[in-house]
């Protein structure tokens, strides 16, 4: 089992406060909000006990989490899934993003295969197991913030106004 490098305690503590629990598989802060607080974290592919953690980039900014939750509650997963089936450019963006996700997970895992023998290293963004399938808009927004140029995530994020609150929501 590979060991996870300890991120700065202040980052880990702030992420725990944002989530309302200790983060699992936390590797590092990948994106900060304009106020310097964690907005997106990068996760290890496996928890310390070997359990798969299929979400590489995890949205932690409370403002963004709430805004994306509202999109999901309004049918956003179904709407954006349909868009990837009808808009070839979005389908391509998702396919490229899923492939990048697989590459990143394998890179982060190194020689570690966890309890699943490495099966989850083949999952797409947000743990999707089927190509062309969306499960969680939060994961796609987090991926877009951490990996600029991911068009599908950028378009989902464009529905969030404002992108950032007027003051830090995490401190």
Got the DSSP string for 28-44?
Answer: EEEEE-TTSSEEEEEE-
Q: Using 50 as the pLDDT threshold, list the residues of the chain that sit under it.
A: 1-4
Beta bridge partners of 40: 31, 59
Token pair 């991926």 is at which residue? Answer: 143
pLDDT value, residue 6: 53
Where in the chain does DSSP place strands (E)? 26-32, 38-43, 57-59
Q: What share of the chain is helix, strand, coil (3-state, %, to 5)?
A: 45, 10, 45
Closest CA to 80 of 11, 7, 155: 155
pLDDT value, residue 67: 97
Residue 75 neighbours by CB distance under 10 Å? 10
Which residues, including other chains, have CB under 8 Å from residue 75's CB and lie 6 or more apart? Answer: none
Q: Name the packing angle between helices 62-73 and 76-86 (round to 10°).
A: 70
- Give me 131's structure tokens: 């190509």
The span from the first CA to the last CA of the chain, in angstroms, equals 34
The CB-based long-range contact list for 7-10 (8 Å cut-off, 24+ gap) reads none
Beta bridge partners of 38: 32
């Amino acid at each position: 089992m590979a060991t996870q490098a300890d991120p700065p305690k202040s980052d880990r503590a702030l992420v725990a406060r944002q989530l309302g629990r200790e983060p699992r598989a936390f590797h590092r802060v990948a994106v900060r909000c304009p106020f310097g607080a964690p907005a997106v974290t990068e996760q290890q592919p496996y928890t310390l006990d070997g359990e798969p953690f299929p979400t590489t980039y995890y949205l932690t900014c409370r403002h963004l989490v709430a805004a994306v939750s509202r999109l999901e509650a309004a049918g956003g997963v179904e709407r954006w899934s349909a868009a990837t089936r009808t808009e070839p450019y979005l389908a391509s963006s998702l396919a490229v993003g899923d492939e990048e996700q697989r590459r990143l997970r394998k890179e982060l895992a190194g020689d570690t295969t966890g309890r699943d023998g490495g099966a989850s290293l083949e999952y797409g963004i947000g743990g999707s197991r089927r190509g062309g399938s969306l499960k969680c808009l939060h994961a796609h927004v987090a991926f877009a913030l951490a990996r600029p140029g991911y068009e599908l995530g950028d378009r989902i994020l464009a529905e969030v106004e404002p992108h950032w609150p007027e003051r830090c929501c995490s401190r």
